[in-house]
Chains A and B, each alone.
Chain A
Amino acid sequence: MKRILVIEDEYYDIENSFNMMNVRYYHDTLAIDIKKTYQDVLPLDDLNDYDLIVLDISLGNKSNKDGFALLEDIKNYDVDLFFKILIISGSDYVRSKLDTLGYEGIPSLLKPLDYILLHNKIKNIL
């Protein structure tokens, strides 16, 4: 069974997209965990348990750090984790900022999402 971690503070808006993708393409075999803030993600060792990490860049007010800062921490912890990360965001500017910061290799997906779009993007990672 493959495990997915979604780090997103407003998961309820995209929950059905993940559930439908799970049912439609993976026979409901994916285990999807949700974490809402940067501090929920710690310790970073736990990230090794997942096959895919979907990270929303903004992460909301309750989070001590945003997605960019989390990426920086992950880079310092284990750069290989970048191979299983997918960034989601509501703004085009995030992609250009990722490129500027040297994260060109990390795929990204622009909201609004749907399950087909999501599947097309993550099938290569899983």
Chain B
Amino acid sequence: MNKYLFSSGNILLGLKYSIIYRFIIIVYSIGLFFINDSNFILQNFLLQIVIYILIYIYLLYREKHFLRSVVDYTYIIFSLCNYDIFLYYNFVFLLLPFINIPNHTGLNRSPVIVFILSLFSFLILVFLQKQNIEIHIFLSVLFVFGFFLIISRFDIIKQENLEYIFKIYQEIDNSIINQPSRTQVPKVYRMLISELEKKLNIKIDRILCFQSSQQNIELINASKFTLKYDFDFDSFLKTDRRAFKEFNIKIDSIEKNVILNIEIDEYIFLILHTNKSEKISLYDKAFLYSFLQEVFLKLSVIIKFEFGLYEERYSKLKNINNQQHYVLETMQSTHYLTNKLSSIKNYLTFQVDMHSKKRIPENIKKKMIELGDNELIQASRAMKDISKKTNALLDKKENPFIATNHENLKAKRIYMMVLKMLSHEFKNSEFKIQTTLSSNTALERDFNIDIGTMELILVDILANMKKYAKIEKIVSFEFSTELIITFMNDFDCNESSYRHLESIVKSHNDDDRREINRSHNFGLLHIKEQAKQNSICTSLILDENLFKIKLIFEKA
């Protein structure tokens, strides 16, 4: 798709330049018509322009690039044939085709052809005007055409290099887009090495990237796995380190040659040559430098971006780790509690057993009572341990799932937050949004929310909607003194599921926590608990066709 857009864009740009170039030729020829004092008839001149334009359009349509150039020169010869070619403003007309060199033959650009055509046109004009040409004038003309030939050649090289860099940029983008989850920089290095080896016919061992900070310099990535390296960074940083100056580096005890070093912000890229004794030409180095500097500039942005992503991922990992500790602690505590409950259960069983009507021999009963007394002490101790443990578990400070970072969020921000999560959860299905706005200030109203738990509430609600909705998924926002968000979905309308939902609604709307616990709807229980921590009132409503979860946000 990108490639297609790029090539279409290139064609359109080329067409634009081609038309502008022909426009310049025509305007210049009109100028010459009025400047030069000649007997050329205006009607003939206008006819010449019309014929030129028609042939140009025809050849443009037929994609005859070379013929278009020939027609241009023919037009120029026709325009100049009545004027003195040795006058500078007439002669300059012959130089105009050089400005169109990047386009004049389409893909096969060659300033030499333009040079030959210009020289040939000049000689024709000299011949037609029956002028004598002295050798030094001819040499001057050759020199001017030659000068333009060289400038055009440089222009083409520059353009080719730009296109090459653009191609490499596209390949880098493709690598990053295809696998954004892990770093693609080493893969990009390898692609660069293979491209450069093909282009310059040199062997590159590897590319290393170091990050320098005030404290130290660290290797952050490389084209191939590099375990040990020995590089004297102190002397590297102290000495004159022009890009082309060569340094030695030891990789796994093997000495290698750093043929190029490029510094971009805090990053130092080193390019290592495979063969230490083989020399690289200054031209190749210059190309490497100008090319890699552009590419590394882009790569340094990618490295920074990846680092930012990694930092975010790491901070999330730390957060998950804290939550995992809490969950593991809770699991271990549950195990601890079931062990402790054994004493209490055993004592209760003992009491029931001793007071039952079963006949128990006295000697056994006596021993059992002794053991029972002991179990009573054990059970009382267990009770204390259990209450200590449960208090610790219920300590809100220790619970990472409890809302603690409240901040004032505007109603419009909450709206955007819900919308973003909705679009993500239902990206492959349709949902409806309804909004009611009492006044514009209602959007600016603040609500004291902990974003982390708010997101958990929304994840639970949306997962619920996704699970039970058949077709309809509607979210309504009412912006007034409060903010009311109602999540609605249809459901399977059979008798049993209706009864089931009815019981969920009843237990959820019941303020008795035991009632909710008994219903085993943990998702809805969590929504209620976490909403309460954010001063959000929740209620469930069951209509004939819709199941609704209503969140009422209290003003901060």
Contacts and interface: CB of A to CB of B under 8 A. Distances in A.
Contacts of A117: 349
A115 B341 CA distance: 13
Contacts of A112: 338-342, 344-346
A20 B10 CA distance: 92
B343 interface: yes
A125 interface: no
Interface in A1-36: 10, 12-14, 16-17, 19-20, 23-24, 27-28
Given A19-B371, A20-B350, A20-B375, A113 B335 contact: no
A113 B382 contact: no
A91 interface: yes
B342 A17 contact: yes
A50 B350 CA distance: 27
Interface of A: 10, 12-14, 16-17, 19-20, 23-24, 27-28, 58, 90-91, 111-117
Q: 8 closest pairs, A vs B, by CB?
A: A90-B338, A114-B349, A112-B341, A112-B342, A112-B345, A114-B346, A16-B375, A13-B339
Given A90-B335, A114-B348, A27 B364 contact: yes
28 contacts: A10-B339, A13-B340, A13-B378, A13-B382, A14-B342, A16-B371, A16-B374, A17-B346, A20-B368, A20-B371, A23-B371, A24-B353, A24-B368, A28-B367, A58-B335, A91-B334, A91-B335, A112-B339, A112-B341, A112-B342, A112-B346, A113-B342, A113-B345, A114-B342, A114-B346, A115-B349, A115-B350, A117-B349
Interface string B374-387: 11001000100000
Contacts of A17: 342, 346
B343 A13 contact: yes
Nearest to B344: A112
Residue of B348, B372, B375 with most chain A CB atoms under a 10 A cut-off? B375
Interface string B341-361: 111111111100100000010
Given A90-B339, A111-B338, A16 B367 contact: no
Contact of A23 (B348, B364, B382): B364
Interface string B92-108: 00000000000000000
A24 B378 contact: no
A14 B340 CA distance: 8
Nearest to B361: A27
Residue of B339, B341, B364, B367 with most chain A CB atoms under a 10 A cut-off? B339
A90 B346 contact: no
A27 B365 CA distance: 11
Residue of A14, A19, A114 with most chain B CB atoms under a 10 A cut-off? A114
Contacts of B346: 14, 16-17, 20, 112-115
Nearest to A10: B339
Contacts of B382: 13
A111 B342 contact: yes
Contacts of A90: 334-335, 338-339
Contacts of B344: 112
A116 B353 CA distance: 9
A113 B350 CA distance: 12
Contacts of B348: 114
Contacts of A111: 338-339, 341-342
Interface string B501-518: 000000000000000000
A114 B353 CA distance: 11
Contacts of A27: 364
A63 B364 CA distance: 36
Contacts of A113: 342, 345-346
Interface in B26-53: none
A14 B350 contact: no
A111 B339 CA distance: 7
